[in-house]
Amino acid sequence: MIQRRLGRSDIEISAIGLGCWQFSEGSGLAGGFWEALPTPTVEEIVDASLRGGINWFDTAEAYGDGRSERALASALTRLGKKPGEVVVATKWFPYPFRGASSIVNTIGDRLTNLNPFGIDLHQIHQPFAFATVAAQANAMAELVQAGKIRTVGVSNFSAKKMRAFHDVLASRGVPLVSNQMQYSLLDRRIESNGVMAAAKELGITIIAYSPLAQGLLSGKFHEDPTLIKNRVGPRKFLPSFRAKGLERSRPLIEELRKIATAHGVTPSQVALNWLIHFHGDTVVVIPGATKGRHAEENVGAGKFTLSPDELRRIDELSRQFL
């Protein structure tokens, strides 16, 4: 598995991690996006990820009100992992009327849920908060300096807010190591709105969430559009899953299939491989998995090499989604 440095920290992570949103047990607004997974299935997914070389896992407070954090910690423990052997990332959510003091006041809950694992990367989940960027950044710096967390990241931050957060942390001697953004071949907006350019300039890692566009890049919904009707959650209502959206992305999907056949892999693996290579070392991905075989497929995405021509062809067909 390809290894990447997490921003300007000393943490080494695999270019492919595991997103743990789906471990929310179907609870809450965020968790309701997915079906509740049985405990053995969660363990199977984590095990397949570890065996494939994935060394880090991304969860959040908002994923089932801590249920995902607890499910991840339990699975890692049952599989014999100890603190320091894996990298764990979580997030604080700026629920309405929460101030920056909540970041410090709730860190005990995060650590309790993840026990015995520590927090290697703590992130601000959304940029819309009842607190200034400076107040949030200073609260995070306080946690680093107190030894409660190792590094600091943000999520869904614009280039302007990311730069502002970076500058405040830098004044405290703490680097901003990551910005977690929605990024896939069907959503390349961060390349046109300044986020990617700023990340490269500042040495910030882009953590791509929804890198398979909620499964669209697998091509299965293009083959059989009726599949979406049986899906749990709001995906079925997204424009990209409607007939017009499927037709718009069909040329890209057909090219992914063609390239996948040439490499003996799947379209999803080609899509992930492009993300982790096209921008050098800047981008890492956190695809989710609801079955062990999904995790195995994620791992396989880092084990082949796309040619320059293949990278270019995919780029050209997906540029309409910039």
> Active-site residue numbers?
63
Residues 32, 26 contacting (CB under 8 angstroms): yes
Query: Six-digit token pair at 37?
Result: 């997974």
Q: Is 84 helix (H, G, I), strand (E, B) or coil?
A: coil
Measured between alpha carbons, how far is residue 315 from residues 14, 54, 55, 211, 307 in Å? 23, 26, 28, 15, 12
CA 9 to chain centre: 18
- Cα separation, 12 vs 226, in Å, equals 41
Strand partners, 123: 91, 153
Q: ∠46-211-86 over CA atoms, to 5°? A: 30
End-to-end CA gap in the chain: 28
Residues in Cβ contact with 1 at an 8 Å cutoff, skipping those fewer than 6 apart:
14, 15, 16, 52, 53, 54, 55, 299, 302, 303
Residues 19, 287 contacting (CB under 8 angstroms): yes
DSSP secondary structure string for all residues of 165-213: HHHHHHHTT--EEEEEEE-BTTB-GGGTSSHHHHHHHHTPEEEEESTTG
Question: What crossing angle do the helices spanning 243-263 and 308-318 adopt, rounded to 10°?
Answer: 180
- Cα separation, 52 vs 287, in Å, equals 14
